[in-house]
Amino acid sequence: MTDNFGPVYEVTHTVDQEIAEEFDTWLSQHIEEMLSIEGISRAGSFTTDDHEDGRPRRVSQYFFDTDLDLENYFAGPAEVMRQSAADLFGGRFEVSRRVLRENEFVDGMLKPAEMCLNCGTTLSGQYCGNCGQRAQTRLISIWQLLREAFGDLLELDSRLWRTLIPLTIRPGKLTRDYLEGRRARFMPPFRTYLVLSIIFFLVAFFDPREEFGIFFDDEVVAEEQDEQRSEVEEIRDDVMRDLVEEGVLTAEQAGIAAEPEQPPGIASNQVTTVDTDDVENDSEEDVDGFNIQIRDGDAEPTSDCDDIDTEDWPPWLEKRLTPERVKIMCERVIADDGKAWGSKLLDNIPAALIALLPIMAVVLKALYPLSKRYYVEHVLFVVHYHAFFFLILSLQIMFGRLIALFGLPGFFSGITTAAVSIYIPVYLAMAMRRVYGQGWLATIPKYFILSIAYMIGMAGILAVTALIAAFSI
């Protein structure tokens, strides 16, 4: 049987251990004072599980006759009652409040107060008012797991799509909304940047046949290698014909069909023969290219690493990059035709682009000294622009691959590349105008300065990244 009664006002105090006894004394007196207020029929208190950090909790409940009595309490004596605890104990306790209704009781008994499993705050709904965690913790089904994993991707009204659409077609909107306080509807800026940068590098540089070659059919891979090998052989034959036409080699030496005799005047001691069998072997072993070495007599081939001059370098750089170090680094790079160096460079590019963010924010801070914007606000602008950059390039690369997959003319890919090349700088100018609120007359000069700074900054960052990659081989 369920008794009929009005709302119950429940207050949960989490107090420091040192004041627990003193607080209990005050709470007993406070309840007596609350009972003297008109509209409160009964009141009481009890202890509950301690907070996760060990602090004790005290729960007090005040039963009002009607909703009107509760509203009158909030409008009148509530602030005075709350202030009495604050004056006595200061900031040595925390408090949470909720209003319970009749459906919170079973057979006249109050249901136990539910606590957030994450932070321990008393729950007053489906979500915790302190940390935001959902009250429901039991996993119902596999479908719920999938919804939690891909919910933002599959739901058209999710924060993901509400972020990507304006990021793509409305320059500067995300930054402007974030600065004006409209943030909950969008993904956080740095999360957006990281997600889109990961997607870009996966789309641009991840080759499943190279990473998971064991799962692909050997015949298919062999056919692709044969096609690449035939292309290499065609290129080799073209180079050999050019050498025969220029009189460097004879047709017999080049291993191709006889051509008109070479013009006179080519000294026989200037060129040694080229072993075409070695060239063919190289092309078979490495489908990415081939090497042709032409030596003068018995002279040993010279390495470009010996010709690097460091005398004109800045003193601070010359001190660290001595000729010996530069030579060792150069030899490591060319040992495998730069493959290891290129791989290291690619691994370091994401970190280099992150390092570019604060540098460009400094440039914006200098371009807008009177904007009264904090440095972090300029960082936010650059983060959103770089996120857009990754997004638009990922879309362009995927579109180009779809064109190749369906065998469409390369003309379509050229159009998209040209459109993206125009849209990226235009997007930057429009974003600057929207976020900083200046007219085109003031924005365009700053846009060109920022563009030049981008080119210089990108060149410098890539140069440093290339050196770091060379030293880490």
> What is the per-residue pLDDT across 374-408, written as a single tens digit (0 to 9) for each?
999 999 999 999 999 999 999 998 988 888 888 88
- Of the two residues 466 and 331, the one the predictor is more confident about is 466
My answer on whether 78 and 199 are in the same domain is no
Helix 339-367, helix 440-471: angle, nearest 10: 150
Q: What is the pLDDT of residue 291?
A: 46
Rounded CA-CA distance 186/51 in Å is: 33
Query: In three state form, how does the secondary structure of the chain look?
Result: CCCCCCCEEEEEEEECHHHHHHHHHHHHHHHHHHHCCCCEEEEEEEEECCCCCCCCEEEEEEEECCHHHHHHHHHCCHHHHHHHHHHHHCCCEEEEEEEECHHHEECCEECCCCECCCCCCECCCCECCCCCCECCCCCCCHHHHHHHHHHHHHCCCCHHHHHHHHHHHCCCHHHHHHHCCCCCCCCCHHHHHHHHHHHHHHHHHCCHHHHCHHHCCHHHHHHHHHHHHHHHHHHHHHHHHHHHHCCCCCHHHHCCCCCCCCCCCCCCCCCCCCCHHHHHHHHHHCCCCCCCCCCCCCCCCCCHHHHCCCCCCCHHHHHHCCHHHHHHHHHHHHHCCCHHHHHHHHHHHHHHHHHHHHHHHHHHHHHCCCCCCCHHHHHHHHHHHHHHHHHHHHHHHHHHHHHHHCCCCHHHHHHHHHHHHHHHHHHHHHHHHHHHCCCHHHHHHHHHHHHHHHHHHHHHHHHHHHHHHHHCC
Q: How far apart are CA 278 and CA 374, in angstroms?
A: 64
The answer to whether residue 198 sits within a structural domain is: yes
Residue range 12-33, pLDDT digits in tens? 888 888 888 888 889 889 898 8
Number of domains in the chain: 3
User: Considering the domain boundaries, does residue 257 fall inside one?
Assistant: yes
What pLDDT, in 10s, does the model give residues 252-310? 666 655 545 545 544 444 444 445 444 444 444 444 444 444 444 444 444 566 666 66
For residue 145, being part of any structural domain is answered with no
For residues 254 and 356, membership in a common domain is answered with no
The predicted pLDDT at position 99 comes to 83
Percent of the chain with pLDDT over 70: 66
Does residue 92 fall inside a structural domain?
yes
- Among 74, 92, 110, identify where a domain stops: 110
Bridge-based pairing state of the strands 8-15 and 93-100: antiparallel
Mean pLDDT is lowest, of 55-59, 85-89, 300-304, 364-368, for: 300-304
Q: What is the pLDDT of residue 108?
A: 47
Distance CA 322, CA 330 (A): 12
Q: Which of 79, 110, 141 is the last residue of a domain?
A: 110
The string of pLDDT tens digits covering residues 394-451 is 999 898 888 888 888 878 888 888 999 999 999 999 999 999 999 999 999 999 999 9
**Residue 106: pLDDT band with limits 50, 70, 90:** very low
Contact criterion met (CB below 8 Å) for 16 and 55: yes
Residue 213 inside a domain? The answer is: no
Tens-digit pLDDT profile for residues 347-368: 778 888 888 999 999 999 999 9
Residue 288, exposed/middle/buried by CB under 10 A (0-12, 13-18, 19+)? exposed
The total of other beta-carbon atoms located within 10 Å of residue 382's CB is 23
Domain that holds residue 328: 172-206+310-473
Instruction: Confirm whether 212 is domain-assigned.
Output: no
Q: Are residues 388 and 462 in the same domain?
A: yes
432 and 349 co-located in one domain? yes
Q: Are residues 334 and 197 in the same domain?
A: yes
Instruction: Identify any residues that bridge with 61 across adjacent strands, giving them in sequence order.
Output: 10, 44
Same domain, 198 and 243: no
Q: Does the pLDDT at position 103 exceed 80? A: no
Task: Taking residues 142-163, report their average pLDDT.
Answer: 65
Within this chain, do residues 351 and 432 fall inside the same structural domain, yes or no?
Answer: yes
**Percent of the chain having pLDDT more than 90?**
19
User: In Å, how far are 18, 33, 92 from 87, measured between CA atoms?
Assistant: 17, 16, 11
**Does 419 map to a domain?**
yes
**193 and 57 inside one domain:** no
Range with lowest mean pLDDT among 131-140, 163-172, 342-351, 392-401:
131-140
- Please give the backbone phi and psi of residue 42, each rounded to the nearest 5 degrees, phi first: -160, 165
CATH number at residue 63: 3.30.70.100
Within-domain flag for 355: yes
| Of 98, 80, 183, nearest in space to 135 by CA | 98
Of 246, 272, 298, at which residue does a domain stop? 298
- Closest to 422 (Cα-Cα) out of 396, 394, 450, 461: 396
> The pTM is what?
0.54
Residues 399 and 472 occupy one common structural domain: yes
Same domain, 80 and 197: no
End-to-end CA distance of the chain: 79
* Mean pLDDT, the chain, whole residue set: 76
186 shares a domain with 289: no
- Enter the tokens of residue 12: 């949960």
Q: Which residues on neighbouring strands pair with residue 15, listed in sequence order? A: 93
- Mean predicted confidence (pLDDT) in 317-336: 70
Work out the pLDDT band at 146, boundaries 50, 70, 90.
Answer: low
Residues 65 and 183 in one domain: no
Residue 228: what pLDDT?
A: 62
The pLDDT of residue 185:
83
391 close to 196: Cβ distance less than 8 angstroms: yes
